[in-house]
Chains A and B, each alone.
Chain A
């Protein structure tokens, strides 16, 4: 889709849906690695955030991060810093930025971008091994990102 068309559609959507238009992955605005503006305008649901973070096919954050606050989740990885206290260390905007595209905060990070659709080498169609047709959809939806951020902000020491 051309940028103009997307913008035009975005404007139509803004007019049609007075509340908020979901921000497309390619339109997210970063400020020093952080994303101050909600992607959806709808507050995240922290419980749903936990589900996203611990489900293999979704965020699977626990593949790399331990979360002491979720002792029932089996097989938490230890590649990345534990997320306990993340809500103290980072603002909501910073957490959103990290989840959307961690490489904006930590250059060359091992952490994947979860709301990102461009700039990949041989992007696949999810985990099929086949090529994706056009740009792949983001790993998480805008609302799922908001749900994850909502949970992360509760992780205070």
Chain B
């Protein structure tokens, strides 16, 4: 009886039309310096090949109006935050009057950085996300209190720095010194947290393309971060997004910037190796 029911149930699932797969669309962003081609789908990295063939940006799962907002920097509200980040970059805020610009000149000196993060820092052996690098300079080189992981200063700066790598393929290292962190992140990705006992993989691997209530489930990629989220009318970092997703399983979350969420960010980022850095993207 039970196996019959399961067969019927499985048949129902199979028969349901695939209403909600990623759309077939191309993303070329009109920016200040001309059009930027964004790679929104790519062959899955080797370690995922037995689970999925293609990786897709979350952009392909959003509705037409949301997708359109990302086609032109003029329409993308996230760019306002990057502009604010540029003002901060040039502000002489250090205890000795340093600005980011006084050491790094133009933000484009950091081109390519976002595509490689998180990574294990060669000097300290620590796993570093972009926030860590920014705070290292804020505290050690400018003598200031660290910026909040999800505070406005930090998010504006993440937007500005991520934008310098827009269009470049995500390419984080998962071997060598990164391996143990990556393993930790992978383990978390498949751990069923909280009272609802749900893992990242349950939503973003097993059920991507389907609807969970009003939400169209994407692969949960982070290549678009920081992202301008329409629902929040503000920037959201990957660390913040993880907090939200874990909280929604009725779980005790980890802190943004915690060792756990950094390891998770490395692992999740690596699932998107080959997609373009989009930051600042627009999502629902």
Interface residues of A (CB under 8 A from B): 33, 56, 60, 62-64, 74-79, 81-82, 89-90, 103, 105-106, 110, 112-113, 116, 120-132, 136, 139
Contacts and interface: CB of A to CB of B under 8 A. Distances in A.
B214 A122 contact: no
Contacts of A64: 212
A88 B251 CA distance: 35
A60 B243 CA distance: 21
Given A78-B16, A78-B20, A136-B195, A122 B252 contact: yes
B250 A127 contact: yes
Given A78-B211, A112-B197, 19 more contacts: A56-B213, A60-B213, A75-B214, A76-B213, A79-B207, A79-B210, A79-B217, A89-B5, A105-B2, A110-B198, A110-B206, A110-B207, A121-B194, A123-B194, A124-B251, A126-B250, A128-B247, A139-B196, A139-B250
Contacts of B211: 75-79
B9 interface: yes
B212 A124 contact: no
A131 B250 CA distance: 9
Q: Is the interface of A mostly helix, strand, loop or mixed?
A: loop
B125 to A, nearest CB: 28
B229 to A, nearest CB: 17
Contacts of B196: 112, 139
Interface in B39-95: none
Q: Ordered nearest first, which 6 A-B pairs have the shortest CB separation?
A: A81-B9, A75-B214, A129-B247, A131-B252, A63-B213, A112-B196
Contact of A81 (B13, B193, B194): B13
Given A78-B19, A136-B195, A123 B213 contact: no
A43 to B, nearest CB: 25
Interface of B: 2, 5-6, 8-10, 12-13, 16, 19-20, 191-198, 202, 206-207, 210-214, 217, 243, 246-253
Central interface residue in A56, A76, A127, by most chain B CB within 10 Å: A127
A123 B250 CA distance: 6
A33 B3 CA distance: 13
Contacts of A132: 195, 252
Contacts of A110: 198, 202, 206-207
Contacts of B193: 121-122
Contacts of B19: 78
B213 A89 contact: no
B152 to A, nearest CB: 21
Nearest to A101: B197
